A and B are shown apart, each in its own frame.
Chain A
Amino acid sequence: AQSVDQPDAHVTLSEGASLELRCSYSYSAAPYLFWYVQYPGQSLQFLLKYITGDTVVKGTKGFEAEFRKSNSSFNLKKSPAHWSDSAKYFCALGQQGTGSKLSFGKGAKLTVSP
């Protein structure tokens, strides 16, 4: 079985601060890990993914995430945060191979105040 946990449902910080959204996963094999962002009324947009190789992956909009096998985490980071980063962020876990399904966390609603 595979699962994703995003422990912080709501995160609030001030513009200019550093943001870190936590994600942990449970999976017996090598994971594929993703972050998506959803702005109000819009579809989920792909931010970045980890498949293999460098454990720090960089994505769009200045985001990066670090894969840590030791504690089964894939935390999303950005510094500094901007008010336009306010959105809901989803961590997702996939299996090896194309066409495989993704399992999503419950999401973290990020609010960045100007």
Chain B
Amino acid sequence: GPKVLQIPSHQIIDMGQMVTLNCDPVSNHLYFYWYKQILGQQMEFLVNFYNGKVMEKSKLFKDQFSVERPDGSYFTLKIQPTALEDSAVYFCASSSLSQNTLYFGAGTRLSVL
């Protein structure tokens, strides 16, 4: 099936630093998403993005979070500054203009020390 790539698979940083998580979505998809999964808990929606704009965000999408996809490059999630509670696996997903099905990447495990 369609592939979503996430880079890196694991990121370790110190609290207070900035981190950027990268996602290469399916090539013809236009909707993009980030989800957060804390160990042992369910996957929680963070944000969705279309046509250069955030469509919807949850309360987990703090002011320190931002997303962008400049000119068809990676869809990124930036956290600045990071906090200990940001440690989690972050999943990127994308979907097409005509389909509701989301396709997910394998996740980036973020460890904030």
B-contact 0/1 string along A92-114, CB 8 Å cutoff: 00100111111111110000000
- Complex Cα distance, B103 from A34, in Å, reads 12
Shortest beta-carbon distance from B28 to chain A in Å:
13
Which residues in A have their C-beta under 8 angstroms from that of B50? Answer: 99
Q: Which residues of B contact A30 (CB under 8 A)?
A: none
Which positions in B face A, CB cutoff 8 Å? 1, 4, 31, 33, 35, 41-45, 48, 50, 55-56, 91, 95-107
Q: Would A99 and B1 count as touching, CB distance under 8 A?
A: no
Check A43–B97 contact: CB distance below 8 A. no
User: In the complex, A32→B100 CA distance in Å?
Assistant: 9
Residues of B within 8 A of A53 (CB): none
Question: Would A98 and B31 count as touching, CB distance under 8 A?
Answer: yes
> Could you tell me if B97 and A98 are in contact, using CB atoms closer than 8 angstroms?
yes
Q: Assuming A98-B31, A99-B95, A100-B100, what are 14 further A-B pairs, CB within 8 angstroms?
A: A42-B106, A43-B91, A43-B104, A44-B104, A46-B1, A97-B100, A98-B95, A98-B96, A98-B99, A98-B100, A100-B48, A104-B35, A106-B42, A107-B42
Residues of B within 8 A of A105 (CB): 42
Closest A residue, CB atoms, query B9: A41
Whether A49 pairs with B43 at a CB distance below 8 angstroms is no
Docked-complex contact B33 and A43, CB < 8 angstroms: no
Residue from A32, A42, A97, A98 whose CB has the most chain B CB atoms within 10 Å: A98
Q: Is the CB of A44 within 8 A of B91?
A: yes
A35 to chain B, nearest CB (A): 11
- Chain A interface residues (CB < 8 Å from chain B): 32, 34, 36, 41-46, 49, 51, 90, 94, 97-107
Q: Is the CB of A49 within 8 A of B100?
A: yes
Query: Which residues does chain A contribute within 8 Å of B45, judged by CB atoms?
Result: 101-103
B100 and A94: CB pair below 8 A?
yes
Instruction: Report Cα–Cα, A107/B42, bound state, in Å.
Output: 7
Known: A98-B97, A99-B55, A101-B33. A46 touches B41 (CB 8 A): no
**With known contacts A32-B100, A51-B100, A43–B105 Cβ distance under 8 A:** yes
B102 touching A43, Cβ below 8 Å = no
